[in-house]
């Protein structure tokens, strides 16, 4: 099976042709102002868009934003995204008030060669996420009518069996964009024969969210460092009390089994920042993991753990491959950001091939002001990257195969 690429499409010639680009412009917005707080996903699709516009294509961009439940909701409009995309491209970007209606058709019809239009949120239409094949297919037919070729550059959505990702490629000549190709290339390197030592850092809140990837990676890695809220279920599995920290009681036995099977590969925190409440203003202290007060909850890994994790990332021979997914604490609150910052800096300073697995990890890199160029790759798809590493088929990638 082969996948045709953007370069194959460009070689055919795109001048004057209507090209539909599925992008992942699902950016975070400020709840009060509606302003974009992180434009990383918009910037990630620029190489594909500039290649198409430079070759004279008429480009219509599709994306989702949030979870509007199949009907229009101004809170999830792509209008501010279109405005930001125009700023980044340095050119006017048309905006359609709907996805497949009169406004979308008019916006696409009005495009001159080399121009871009952003169509309204795909998820304002029930057909996009429907589990009914016929309903999804009908929506895909409407999308297909707007273009002559399809490019998927939305890696963050390829693990979804949605109309614009899975059904639409079957209706048009289809190609993989620059971002999707890069993501697959990097993740294939991690699942193939990565250079060793291979160290994985996992954080985030729940073990249940990461169980599949832990099971898949444990036989392949040399060290697995676990922080974030999920570490407390592992600590409980070791017989420790975790106070009021986040805990998945139903996962304790699973964590105990993982620790027993890990052959010492799993490394857990030795100290944490424990607070009276989930608040930046709460009283908090660094405590050993065997001394977490019963009334306190852990909100970050402690400085001794950061030092230990940093040493494991460097080690005597030096880690040669590092994958990081999930923050080490509640980095959005300043008192609990040091763990994520310290581990991220250690990864950035490593001489290894370093991959940040999207989602909150990518957001943390930018929110904490770290140099993005210090990492070899920052994924745009947290869920998709984990699904890939678990070895699960990705519907959006399968749909591009010929």
Residue numbers annotated as active site: 41, 206, 359, 383
Tell whether residue 360 is among the known ligand binding residues: yes
Can you tell me the distance from the alpha carbon of 326 to that of 371, in angstroms, rounded to the nearest whole number? 18
Tell whether residue 196 is among the known ligand binding residues: no
Tell whether residue 64 is among the known ligand binding residues: yes
Tell whether residue 24 is among the known ligand binding residues: yes
Copy the structure tokens of residue 212: 């599949």
Burial 370-388 (b: 16+ CB within 10 A, else e): beeebbebbbbbbbbbbbb
User: Dihedral sign, CA of 364, 369, 372, 375?
Assistant: negative
User: Dihedral sign, CA of 80, 82, 88, 93?
Assistant: negative
Tell whether residue 73 is among the known ligand binding residues: no
H/E stretch holding 23 reads: strand 18-23
Q: What is the DSSP string of 43-75?
A: HHTHHHHHHHHHTT-EEEEE---S--TTS--GG
Can you tell me the distance from the alpha carbon of 379 to that of 384, in angstroms, rounded to the nearest whole number? 9
Tell whether residue 210 is among the known ligand binding residues: yes
- By residue count, the chain amounts to 402
Tell whether residue 65 is among the known ligand binding residues: yes
Nearest to 326 by CA among 212, 200, 199: 200
Tell whether residue 105 is among the known ligand binding residues: no
Q: Within 10 A of 357 (CB to CB), how many other CB atoms are there?
A: 28
Tell whether residue 20 is among the known ligand binding residues: no
Tell whether residue 125 is among the known ligand binding residues: no
Q: What is the CA radius of gyration of the chain?
A: 22
Distance of alpha carbon 58 from the chain centroid: 28
Tell whether residue 228 is among the known ligand binding residues: no
Distance of alpha carbon 184 from the chain centroid: 13
Cβ burial of 304 (10 Å; 0-12, 13-18, 19+) is middle
Tell whether residue 7 is among the known ligand binding residues: no
Task: Report strand pairing: 18-23 vs 149-153.
Answer: parallel
Tell whether residue 29 is among the known ligand binding residues: no
Can you tell me the distance from the alpha carbon of 86 to that of 143, in angstroms, rounded to the nearest whole number? 23
Tell whether residue 342 is among the known ligand binding residues: no
The values of phi and psi at residue 360, to 5°, are: -65, -30
Any idea which residue has 């857990």 for tokens? 268
Tell whether residue 332 is among the known ligand binding residues: yes
C-alpha neighbours within 13 Å on the C-beta side of residue 308: 17
Can you tell me the distance from the alpha carbon of 18 to that of 148, in angstroms, rounded to the nearest whole number? 5
Which residue ranges make up the annotated binding site for (2R)-3-phosphoglycerate? 41, 123, 160
Which residue ranges make up the annotated binding site for substrate? 24-26, 41, 64-67, 123, 160
Which residue ranges make up the annotated binding site? 24-26, 41, 64-67, 123, 160, 210, 298, 332, 358-361
Which residue ranges make up the annotated binding site for ATP? 210, 298, 332, 358-361
């Amino acid at each position: 099976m082969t996948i045709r690429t953007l370069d194959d499409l460009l070689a055919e010639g795109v001048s004057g042709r209507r090209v539909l680009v599925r992008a992942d412009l699902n950016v975070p917005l400020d709840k009060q102002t509606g302003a974009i707080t992180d434009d990383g996903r918009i910037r990630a699709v620029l190489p594909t868009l500039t290649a198409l516009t430079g070759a004279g294509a008429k480009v219509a961009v599709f994306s989702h934003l949030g979870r509007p439940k199949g009907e229009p909701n101004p809170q999830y409009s792509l209008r501010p995204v279109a405005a930001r995309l125009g700023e980044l491209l340095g050119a006017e970007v048309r905006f359609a008030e709907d996805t497949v209606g009169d406004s979308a058709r008019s916006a696409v019809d009005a495009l001159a060669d080399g121009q871009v239009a952003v169509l309204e949120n795909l998820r304002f239409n029930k057909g996009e996420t429907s589990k009914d094949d016929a309903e999804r297919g009908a929506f895909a037919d409407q999308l297909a009518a707007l273009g002559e070729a399809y490019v998927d550059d939305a890696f963050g959505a390829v693990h979804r069996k949605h109309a614009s990702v899975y059904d639409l490629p079957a209706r048009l000549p289809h190609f993989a964009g620059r971002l999707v190709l890069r993501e697959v290339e990097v993740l294939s390197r991690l699942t193939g024969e990565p250079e060793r030592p291979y160290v994985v850092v996992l954080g985030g809140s729940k073990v249940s969210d990461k169980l599949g990837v832990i099971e898949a990676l444990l036989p392949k890695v040399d060290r697995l460092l676990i922080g974030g809220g999920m570490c407390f279920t592992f600590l409980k599995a070791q017989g420790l009390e975790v106070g009021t920290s986040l805990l998945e009681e139903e996962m304790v036995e699973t964590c105990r089994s993982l620790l027993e099977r890990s052959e010492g590969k799993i490394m857990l925190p030795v100290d944490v920042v424990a607070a009276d409440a989930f608040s930046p203003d709460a009283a908090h202290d660094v405590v050993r993991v065997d001394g977490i007060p019963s009334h306190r909850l852990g909100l970050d890994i402690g400085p001794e753990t950061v030092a230990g994790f940093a040493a494991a990332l460097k080690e005597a021979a030096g880690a040669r491959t590092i994958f990081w997914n999930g923050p080490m604490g509640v980095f959005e609150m300043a008192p609990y950001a040091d763990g994520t910052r310290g581990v991220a800096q250690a990864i950035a300073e490593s001489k290894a091939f370093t991959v940040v697995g999207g989602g909150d990890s990518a957001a943390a890199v930018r929110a904490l002001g770290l140099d993005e160029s210090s990492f070899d790759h920052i994924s745009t798809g947290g869920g998709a990257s984990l699904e890939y590493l678990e070895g699960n088929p990705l519907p959006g990638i399968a749909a591009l195969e010929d």
